[in-house]
Amino acid sequence: MAIIGEVQDAIFAVANSIKHIRTIAVAVKNGRDYLKTKHPEVGENLASMCVEMQKSSQALASASAIVTDFSFVLGPDLASEAARFNKRLIDHKIDAETVEQRIDTMRGHCTVIKEHADAITAVADSSGLRSSVAAALGLHSPDKESELANALQGIYDDEMAYHEGVYEMAHAIQATLKAVRDALGPPGAIDPANVPNAAAVLGEHATAFAKLETDCKLIGRELQESIDELRKHDA
């Protein structure tokens, strides 16, 4: 069975929404030492920006794990595995039904990011540099300044898009679990002989979610590294 179209579309939309975060995470990694030297007074602002962005990446990784952590054990006792899977399916459906609320609770907020970005920009401006976060990070290339400015603006502008992405993500997870359940048999029945087919459906969908989960975790780790470096002087 091919992966459900609505699941593919939702994953693609969410993946696009975190591209802005990745751009900023890379810029921060490349410029954090410069900022600590030239503008140490706003190091905490930059760290706090990273924390907010990390919240969003971690929330999406956690949501993806509802699917990627779900698995069958194929073997001679398919009846037992079908029963075990059914129990786990019920548990995961509960997670899927609340995932939209949990992602929204865990995520970072663009207004907080903008407040800290404005504080960093003000310092860069007062030092005679071009008024931008890129300048405060020592990234004086016009291309770099434009790229980072666009990424920050994307985060500010994408508040509604992010909400829509969260909605789509939640429904993609629910659609995936339904597809797996449907592969096990008709409503109200599970045929142990269908376990391998259901496992194949799960595997195909989990592969798509795994890429998103991996990307979000990588961004989260990169941001945590920057947070730790920026806050070293507080230790």
What's residue 235's pLDDT?
Answer: 45
Number of H helices, E strands in the chain: 9, 0
What's residue 2's pLDDT?
Answer: 54
Report, as an integer, the average pLDDT of 47-72: 86
Report, as an integer, the average pLDDT of 25-37: 86
What's residue 122's pLDDT?
Answer: 76
In single-letter form, the type of residue at position 74 comes to: L
Q: Could you report the per-residue pLDDT of 89-109, keeping only the tens digit for each?
A: 777 677 767 776 766 665 666
| Strand, helix or coil for residue 96 | helix
Position 178 pLDDT exceeds 80: yes
Q: In whole angstroms, what is the distance from residue 70 CA to residue 63 CA?
A: 12
- Using the Cα atoms of residue 88, residue 89, residue 93 and residue 94 in order, give the sign of their dihedral: negative
| pLDDT band (50, 70, 90) for residue 126 | very low
What's residue 157's pLDDT?
Answer: 65
Report, as an integer, the average pLDDT of 181-208: 88
Instruction: State pTM to two decimals.
Output: 0.77
> 223, 57 in Cβ contact below 8 A?
yes
Q: Could you report the per-residue pLDDT of 130-154, keeping only the tens digit for each?
A: 447 777 777 777 777 677 777 777 6
Position 158 pLDDT exceeds 80: no
> 172, 96 in Cβ contact below 8 A?
no
> 149, 134 in Cβ contact below 8 A?
yes
126's CB contacts (< 8 A; 6+ apart) are none
DSSP structural state of residue 233:
G
230's CB contacts (< 8 A; 6+ apart) are 32, 35, 36, 43, 44, 46, 47, 50
Find, among 56, 222, 30, 68, the residue nearest to 144 by Cα: 30
The least confident of 10-19, 113-122, 159-168 is: 159-168
What's residue 220's pLDDT?
Answer: 93
> 59, 103 in Cβ contact below 8 A?
yes
What's residue 160's pLDDT?
Answer: 56
Q: How far apart are the first and last CA of the chain?
A: 53
159's CB contacts (< 8 A; 6+ apart) are 110
What's residue 108's pLDDT?
Answer: 64
